[in-house]
A and B are shown apart, each in its own frame.
Chain A
Amino acid sequence: MGRLFNPRFGTSPISLGIPIVVFIFLVFAAPHFTSGENLSNLISQIVVLLIGSLGQLVVALVGGIDLSIGSLVSLTSCVISTQQSLATAIPLCIGLAILVGTANGVGTAVFGVHPLIMTFSMATFLQGVAYFILPAPSNAIPAGLQSLANITVGGAPIAIVWCVAAVGTTYVLLRRSQLGLHIYAIGASAANAHLNGLRVVPSTIAAYVFCSLSAVCAGLFLSARVASADPTMGGSLALDSITAIALGNVQLTGGIGGVLGAVTGALTLGLLANGMNLMGISPFVRSAFTGVLLLVAISLQKRKVIGL
């Protein structure tokens, strides 16, 4: 238990309890919530948010924030729509992610631009590129892309494989690799990390690249799931992923948070969206309710500093 509630990972009884309470509530309140079809549907709905939140988590751990992931998801879908086959589309998207992540990381770590400004400008820029490549939604996607999201593996929807892979990769990065340790150290205090001989700039850039890569993965999955490309597809993902990690008690000041927080946060948002949809509640009421929940959760998990 002590290990679970280690303050470094930010996991608190509240952040763990919220999705459980929401789940139990929905089991009784929402019709057909526990049907197998709905549960597998729920997982495919959560994948994109979960992958985005895991990327956002890594950036938040170095004390950053990435507002550009929504636009990057949109851009990914636009880029793959220009390609004929997956063999060229996927490497192109990965190259794009590395480019965007490096630019974000260099801007914040080398030039000291505030991450909100850097990544918001990047989001504006990428949105422009997305509209430039693909002015209107199209369903010209490479053959075989749909199988990335719609097949079943051993009876389970492939969405589960994506979730497990994303959570596993992030867990290994943060808890089993040197880079993960460095990311926590930099987030706790970049100056101290530097004095202790850690290479702050490359590690920060790596965190942003990881976030961009996860955005591209989310974009691939989303394009495959809806079987079309859309320059506005990413839309609210940046803010949703920040909401998710905040629900998981990941601190935006850096150094505190863990995979479990991102998972519980994304799960909470996904459960709310799915359950309230089943209950026939308007999406606007849902978003207001999500806001209230976020405000309550964040108020109950007190920090030491005032401000950002």
Chain B
Amino acid sequence: MTALAKSRETNPIVSAGRWIVGLPPAYPLLVLLFGIAYFTHPHLLSPLFLMLMLRQAAPLGLATIGQSLVIRCRSIDLSSAGVMAVTSYILTSGTIPVSPLAAIALCIVVGLAIGFINGVIITVRKASAVIVTLAMSIILTGAVIAFSQFRAPGDVPEILRNVVTSRIGGVPVAALLWLFVLFPLHYIDRVTVFGRYVRAVGSNPLAAEMSGIPHARIVLVAHTVSGLFSVLSCFFLLGFVGVGTVNIGQDLALNSLSASILGGINFGMGKGGMWGPAAAAFMLTFLFNFLTSFGLGEPGKLMLQGLIVIVAAIAYSKRQT
């Protein structure tokens, strides 16, 4: 018995194998996708294309940061479509006569406020997070469309378009911003008290509560942060599109949920970091493009996308038990 345990510990191949098996499914899937792309569509792996993909993944990546944080606290945020509608309205409708920078600041405040309200209802009134954030999304989207029904959407402020579409030395600024956000967040997650608290609350809310950890406050902060990242994600999307649209980011809430799960985050397990979900966001974006390049068309794309997420989730969940 001890010999077996010892050989497991010392055998580098076995321990490496275990390490790989323990990785979030996003990494092996990404390697697999790269492998298939290498043989079938090598042009997808050119630096130029990868950079484009990285830029395209940035909005989903940002939304996933907020979503993964909330999921780790055993909650969920489905309100991003509503937040997006509001952001788009403030920035492009022209009904709020302020300078572009002030409008951007206003969006950030509104995003934080929406996240905060979600958090308050979820923690103080103890309402279901699925319902609260869903209702919030319905309210915001409905209200914004009703307000803007008879008005053509305007242009996105130039400053936003320029920032998110520009490049530094060939690298898209959007991708750089995304990665630069991830570094401090990784630090906050790993080292600070807040990161530890999130882990504790996610692993066992009851035990966390009894140990004197401010359970409700952590969930509240997580929701507020998630609201902020929904707004940031919308900035990127709007910058890419160039004109205002309320239909932007409709599938972002559920795609960021998929990205979080594929990135090794799960409800009720304090596990997971910042890089897994980021890799998963990139992987999903690559997958969408990859499926398009096969000329499958919308039906085949949707079918494969659904299948891949199911299979990855099953493979990962099975390993946990």
A287 and B310 in contact (CB under 8 A), knowing A124-B302, A127-B302, A298-B132?
A: no
By the criterion CB–CB under 8 Å, are A124 and B306 in contact?
Answer: yes
Q: Does B266 contact A (CB under 8 A)?
A: yes
Q: Does A26 contact B (CB under 8 A)?
A: no
The winner among B134, B138, B261, B303 for most chain A CB atoms within 10 A is B138
Q: Does A112 contact B (CB under 8 A)?
A: yes
Q: Does B289 contact A (CB under 8 A)?
A: no
By the criterion CB–CB under 8 Å, are A131 and B302 in contact?
Answer: yes
By a CB distance below 8 angstroms, the chain A residues around B121 are 295, 298-299
Partner of B298, one of A131, A284, A289, A298: A131
By the criterion CB–CB under 8 Å, are B303 and A129 in contact?
Answer: yes
Partner of B299, one of A65, A132, A294: A132
Q: Does B267 contact A (CB under 8 A)?
A: yes
A294 and B138 in contact (CB under 8 A), knowing A252-B131, A299-B125?
A: yes
A106 to chain B, nearest CB (A): 9
Q: Does B309 contact A (CB under 8 A)?
A: yes
By the criterion CB–CB under 8 Å, are A304 and B126 in contact?
Answer: yes
By a CB distance below 8 angstroms, the chain A residues around B51 are none
By a CB distance below 8 angstroms, the chain B residues around A113 are 310, 313-314, 317
By the criterion CB–CB under 8 Å, are A252 and B130 in contact?
Answer: yes
A18 to chain B, nearest CB (A): 14
By the criterion CB–CB under 8 Å, are B257 and A117 in contact?
Answer: yes
By the criterion CB–CB under 8 Å, are B310 and A252 in contact?
Answer: no
By the criterion CB–CB under 8 Å, are A114 and B310 in contact?
Answer: no
By a CB distance below 8 angstroms, the chain B residues around A305 are 126, 205
A63 to chain B, nearest CB (A): 12
Question: What 1/0 flags go to B223-267 for Cβ under 8 Å of A?
Answer: 000000000000000000000000000000010011001000011
By a CB distance below 8 angstroms, the chain B residues around A118 are 310, 313
By a CB distance below 8 angstroms, the chain A residues around B298 are 128, 131
Partner of A308, one of B130, B261, B301, B309: B130
Q: Does A125 contact B (CB under 8 A)?
A: yes
Partner of B142, one of A124, A242, A287, A308: A287
Alpha-carbon gap, A28 to B48, bound state (A): 64
Q: Does A12 contact B (CB under 8 A)?
A: no
By the criterion CB–CB under 8 Å, are B305 and A117 in contact?
Answer: no
Q: Does B129 contact A (CB under 8 A)?
A: yes
B124's closest neighbor in chain A, by CB? Answer: A299
Partner of A288, one of B142, B254, B301, B321: B142
Q: Does A120 contact B (CB under 8 A)?
A: yes
Q: Does B216 contact A (CB under 8 A)?
A: yes
B122 to chain A, nearest CB (A): 6
Q: Does A302 contact B (CB under 8 A)?
A: yes
Q: Does A153 contact B (CB under 8 A)?
A: no
Question: What 1/0 flags go to A106-127 for Cβ under 8 Å of B?
Answer: 0100011110111011111111
Q: Does B104 contact A (CB under 8 A)?
A: no
Q: Does A290 contact B (CB under 8 A)?
A: yes
Alpha-carbon gap, A116 to B267, bound state (A): 11
- Report the stretch among B2-10, B37-45, B143-151 that lies at the interface: B143-151
Question: What 1/0 flags go to A265-308 for Cβ under 8 Å of B?
Answer: 00000000000000000101111111110110011011111111
Alpha-carbon gap, A295 to B321, bound state (A): 36
Question: Could you tell me which residues of chain B, from 256 to 302, have a CB within 8 Å of some CB in chain A?
Answer: 257-258, 261, 266-267, 298-302
Please tell me the number of chain A residues within 8 Å of chain B, measured between CB atoms.
Answer: 53
Q: Does B320 contact A (CB under 8 A)?
A: yes
By the criterion CB–CB under 8 Å, are B128 and A251 in contact?
Answer: yes
By the criterion CB–CB under 8 Å, are A111 and B76 in contact?
Answer: no
By the criterion CB–CB under 8 Å, are B300 and A111 in contact?
Answer: no
Please tell me the number of chain B residues within 8 Å of chain A, measured between CB atoms.
Answer: 56
By a CB distance below 8 angstroms, the chain A residues around B314 are 107, 111, 113
Question: Could you tell me which residues of chain A, from 237 to 279, have a CB within 8 Å of some CB in chain B?
Answer: 239, 242-243, 246, 251-253
| Interface of B, helix, strand, loop or mixed by DSSP | helix
Alpha-carbon gap, A121 to B320, bound state (A): 20
Alpha-carbon gap, A286 to B138, bound state (A): 10
By the criterion CB–CB under 8 Å, are B74 and A308 in contact?
Answer: yes
Q: Does B179 contact A (CB under 8 A)?
A: no
Question: What 1/0 flags go to B56-71 for Cβ under 8 Å of A?
Answer: 0000000000000000
A121 and B310 in contact (CB under 8 A), knowing A252-B131, A291-B135, A306-B126?
A: yes
By a CB distance below 8 angstroms, the chain A residues around B145 are 284
Partner of B305, one of A107, A128, A295, A304: A128
The winner among A65, A121, A132 for most chain B CB atoms within 10 A is A121
By the criterion CB–CB under 8 Å, are B261 and A117 in contact?
Answer: yes
Alpha-carbon gap, A275 to B76, bound state (A): 33
Partner of B128, one of A107, A121, A132, A308: A308
Question: What 1/0 flags go to B186-206 for Cβ under 8 Å of A?
Answer: 000000000000000000010
**Further 20 A-B residue pairs, CB within 8 A, beyond A114-B313, A246-B128, A292-B139:** A112-B318, A114-B261, A117-B309, A118-B313, A121-B306, A121-B310, A122-B310, A124-B303, A131-B302, A242-B134, A243-B134, A243-B138, A252-B128, A252-B131, A290-B138, A299-B127, A304-B126, A306-B123, A307-B73, A307-B122
Q: Which residues of B contact A (CB under 8 A)?
A: 73-76, 121-123, 125-132, 134-143, 145-146, 149, 205, 215-216, 219, 254, 257-258, 261, 266-267, 298-307, 309-310, 313-314, 317-318, 320-321
A-B contacts, 22 of them at CB < 8 A, read A65-B130, A113-B314, A114-B261, A118-B313, A120-B309, A122-B306, A127-B302, A128-B302, A128-B304, A242-B131, A242-B134, A246-B131, A251-B128, A285-B146, A288-B140, A291-B138, A291-B139, A295-B121, A298-B135, A307-B74, A307-B205, A308-B74
Closest 10 CB pairs of A and B: A128-B302, A125-B306, A288-B142, A291-B139, A128-B303, A291-B138, A124-B306, A132-B299, A287-B142, A131-B299
